[in-house]
Amino acid sequence: MQYSRYKVGSGRAGFLEKTWKSQEKNEQKKYTRPGDELLKELLTPLQYKVTQEEGTEPPFNNAYRNNKKDGIYVDIVSREPLLSSTDKYKSGTGWPRFIRPINKGNLVERKGRKFFTVRTEIRSKQGDSHLGHVFDDGPAPTGLRYCINSASLRFVAKEEMQDNGYGEYLKLFESQPTQNSSFPDQ
């Protein structure tokens, strides 16, 4: 209680609220969902079906299942950063799979019942794109398996990240070997 009074009295509470809301507004401006008509022009029929109609692309026949390059994966609709190749691993499911997102705040989870089971759908926060599902049968350290449709993603190679506005994520590749090196048979 004493800290709460200090926080308000010192102006810290107002500063934090202003700072975080400002950053959140900037994120919303930076990553936005285009209108539906424009999306129909920009996306392939499969990309539209997956991201806007909660479709699923065919397993083992998609763009990023076997991608072994270093880089990040962004929402094809809003371009918000979602996943990193450093967290990609081999699961044998037929879709790209990751142990965690870059920033969990860029994802929205929805529990749903479909095909006689309860699943957790993953959507992008700003683009509201259907990405795939998360399961609790993944490897350590998270125990999670983010199974994502390639059709919902755009890959930005490590060497292109700075020029494409994702330079702040280059730190993901600085101090650790990538997960890809641990899973050579992707």
Please say if 125 is a catalytic residue. no
* Planar angle of CA 73, 78, 79, nearest 5 degrees: 35
Choose the catalytic residue: 50, 147, 151, 161. Answer: 147
Residue 61: what pLDDT? 92
Same domain, 81 and 18: no
Residue 57: what pLDDT? 96
| Residues 41 and 35 sit within 8 Å (Cβ to Cβ) | no
Domain count across the chain: 2
Pairing of strands 145-148, 97-98: antiparallel
pTM of the model as a whole:
0.79
From edge to edge, which strands make up the β-sheet containing 71-75? 81-84, 71-75, 153-157
The pLDDT tens digits for 25-71 are 455 568 999 999 999 999 999 999 999 999 999 999 999 999 999 99
Same domain, 113 and 151: yes
Same domain, 121 and 166: yes
Residue 98: what pLDDT? 97
| Residue 117 DSSP code | E
Tokens of 123: 């959507």
* Planar angle of CA 33, 154, 126, nearest 5 degrees: 25
Residue 147: what pLDDT? 96
Same domain, 116 and 49: yes
The pLDDT tens digits for 153-165 are 999 999 999 999 9
Residue 100: what pLDDT? 97
- pLDDT confidence of 93, banded at 50, 70, 90? confident
Which domain range does residue 24 map to?
A: 1-30
Residue 11: what pLDDT? 73
Same domain, 56 and 25: no
Residue 15: what pLDDT? 67
Same domain, 87 and 13: no
Same domain, 18 and 57: no
Same domain, 68 and 45: yes
Same domain, 4 and 96: no
The better pLDDT of the pair 135, 24 is held by: 135
| Residues 53 and 40 sit within 8 Å (Cβ to Cβ) | no
Kindly report the CATH number assigned to the domain that includes residue 124: 2.170.150.20
The pLDDT tens digits for 140-150 are 999 999 999 99
The pLDDT tens digits for 10-36 are 777 676 666 655 455 455 568 999 999
